[in-house]
């Protein structure tokens, strides 16, 4: 998830995230120090699609389509066994990563106007960001600290829609993965902020 030149997120921006509560005890300290999205209220997660449609484009019909599409995916178990790196990111690598790829591909196919990461990358690699924009020595330190506490296992059962107000992100709706095309109402946590203080 990217910020603008001022280091802030744009108000009205949205993201579809598979949150990973089981990873929080392991990564919360490091994300709080080295991942700006954590300070903005975003929990540990693997991105399904970012950026998604701006909030003023998310109608009841879009919510209904998201509900049906995500319900068609089955919950799945995942293990985070090792760290990986992009040039400016240290992350936990999920195994398997195919269910995350399938989520991203199905959402992007339905909304081609919202390609993953704005179409910046030829391949989208599922990952759980731990640190961002730090020198390699910091990544080395964090990776060494994480190594003896891995693996972390989790079960992914839903995808959440998060919305930015320009400073904090809040969960707007949650879409359960049911492994069927049955229609159900997304859970609506309300308007509360999930900013972590």
At 85-113, the pLDDT tens digits run 999 999 999 999 999 999 999 999 999 99
Residue 96 tokens read as: 């398997």
Rounded-to-integer distance, Cα 161 and Cα 141, Å: 32
Residue 74 vs residue 195, higher pLDDT: 74
Residue 178 · residue 71 · CB < 8 Å: yes
* Alpha-carbon distances, residue 196 vs 28, 33, 49, 149, 188 (angstroms): 10, 13, 22, 23, 19
What proportion of the chain, given as a percentage, has pLDDT over 90?
81
- Global pTM value: 0.88
At 113-137, the pLDDT tens digits run 999 999 888 889 999 999 999 999 9
Q: How confident is the model at residue 191 (pLDDT cuts 50, 70, 90)?
A: very low
pLDDT on residue 4: 43
Return the residue matching tokens 């020198």: 135
At 52-92, the pLDDT tens digits run 999 999 999 999 999 999 999 999 999 999 999 999 999 99
Contacts of 44 (CB under 8 A, 6+ apart): 19, 20, 21, 23, 24, 27, 28, 31, 128
Residue 167 has pLDDT above 70, yes or no: yes
Residue 19 · residue 100 · CB < 8 Å: no
pLDDT on residue 121: 85
């Amino acid at each position: 998830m990217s910020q603008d030149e001022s280091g802030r997120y744009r108000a009205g921006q949205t993201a579809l995230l598979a949150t990973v509560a089981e990873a929080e005890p392991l990564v919360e300290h490091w994300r709080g120090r080295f991942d700006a999205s954590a300070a903005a209220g975003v929990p540990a997660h693997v991105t399904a699609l970012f950026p998604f449609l701006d909030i003023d484009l998310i109608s009841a019909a879009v919510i209904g389509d998201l509900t049906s599409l995500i319900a068609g995916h089955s919950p799945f178990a995942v293990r985070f066994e090792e760290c990986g790196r992009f040039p400016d990111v240290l992350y936990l690598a999920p195994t398997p990563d195919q269910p995350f790829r399938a989520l991203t591909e199905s959402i992007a196919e339905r909304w081609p106007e919202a390609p993953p990461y704005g179409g910046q990358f030829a391949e989208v690699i599922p990952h759980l960001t731990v640190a961002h924009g730090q020198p390699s020595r910091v990544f080395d330190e964090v990776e060494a600290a994480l190594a003896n506490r891995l693996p972390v296992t989790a079960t992914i059962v839903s995808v959440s829609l998060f919305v930015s107000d320009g400073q904090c992100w809040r969960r707007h709706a949650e879409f359960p993965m049911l492994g069927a095309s049955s229609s159900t109402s997304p859970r609506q946590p309300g308007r509360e902020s999930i900013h972590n203080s």
